[in-house]
Amino acid sequence: MCTVCGCSGHSVEDQFRAHLEKTGQAKPAPFAMIAPKHAAPTGHSHDLHMGLGPAGTEVPGMSQARLIEIETDILNKNNSYAARNRTALSAKGILAVNLVSSPGSGKTTLLCRTIEMLGAQPLAVIEGDQQTSNDADRIRATGAPALQVNTGKGCHLDGNMVEQALARLDLPTGALLFIENVGNLVCPAAFDLGEDAKIAILSVTEGEDKPLKYPDMFAAARLAILNKIDLAPHCDVDLDLYEANLRRVNPEIEVLRLSARTGEGMAGWIDWLRRGLAAKGA
């Protein structure tokens, strides 16, 4: 019987041990397990729990293995940085958006155009790339403050990198913060940075099935931007199929179609940002 909760052990080890006890061959437990907080009350799968000896007692002369219940999110350190960022940004009514996409979807071009159209709106950009300051240089050329974060071998930005970047940017109340993540449709999905929304950018040249091939990112995003629609007639693509696939992965996702190059559809995107800012400041 399980000495922690009194359930009858179901594991092969338990059954075998019960048999040994019954037949007088029982030996002291090789090690006692300690489970300070019992696992879920249902589905007793005591894989590691040998169920012998009162919980917490030592078996004299035996090596003492213990079971330590952790129940901790693996990314809890990242999440704590992200929570700090979120608190700090909210205190100043700053809207933070995390732009995620594959490399070459047009994130930086979209940002440059967006910054021009936002005019006097206070804003800043955190640029994540493995190497070079090319993107931050392009943003600074528009007159907006930009901070380049080079992740080296890293495939994503994390909460700590953004916290350090925020410390170097003096953002005024009511500002807009764009975080351009490392171009990667996989890894950045798992790392909360403290942003208000992840925005996935997908260019029409990438193929309609990208949301199905890389679902985690589109599932995590609140808005998808279908960029480079000026190229659609040259690429034999079906924009409605893009949207259908996006909604298949994430039925709640908002979708905007635009071309940062020609400016088509940009007004809707600027409006989306202004509405977000108004809601954040309210």
Interface residues with other proteins (CB under 8 A) are: 33, 35, 39, 47-48, 63-78, 154-156, 158, 186-187, 189-191, 212, 215-216, 219, 247-252
Overall residue count recorded for the chain in this entry: 282
Q: Which of 117, 187 has the CB closer to other proteins?
A: 187
Least CB distance to other proteins at residue 110 (A): 24
Q: Which of 81, 269 has the CB closer to other proteins?
A: 81
Question: How far is residue 192's CA from residue 166's CA, in Å, rounded to a whole number?
Answer: 15
DSSP 251-279: TT-EEEE--TTT-TTHHHHHHHHHHHHHH
CB 208 within 8 A of CB 235: no
Least CB distance to other proteins at residue 51 (A): 15
Query: Is 16 buried (19+), middle (13-18) or exposed (0-12) by CB count in 10 A?
Result: exposed
Using CA atoms, how far residue 108 sits from 11, 134, 187, 244, 270, in Å, is: 56, 10, 19, 26, 15
Q: Which of 29, 39 has the CB closer to other proteins?
A: 39
Tokens read off for 180 = 């351009």
Tell me which DSSP letter residue 9 carries: P
Q: Which of 23, 63 has the CB closer to other proteins?
A: 63
Least CB distance to other proteins at residue 223 (A): 16
Q: Which of 69, 116 has the CB closer to other proteins?
A: 69
Dihedrals φ, ψ of 73, to 5°?
-65, 135
Nearest to 98 by CA among 63, 74, 128, 69: 128
Least CB distance to other proteins at residue 224 (A): 15
Question: How far is residue 76's CA from residue 180's CA, in Å, rounded to a whole number?
Answer: 23
Least CB distance to other proteins at residue 216 (A): 4
Q: Which of 49, 228 has the CB closer to other proteins?
A: 49
CB 201 within 8 A of CB 105: yes
Question: How far is residue 227's CA from residue 205's CA, in Å, rounded to a whole number?
Answer: 9
Q: Which of 163, 216 has the CB closer to other proteins?
A: 216
Question: How far is residue 174's CA from residue 190's CA, in Å, rounded to a whole number?
Answer: 27
How many Cα atoms occupy the beta-carbon half-sphere of 63 within 13 Å? 2
Least CB distance to other proteins at residue 65 (A): 5
Least CB distance to other proteins at residue 4 (A): 13
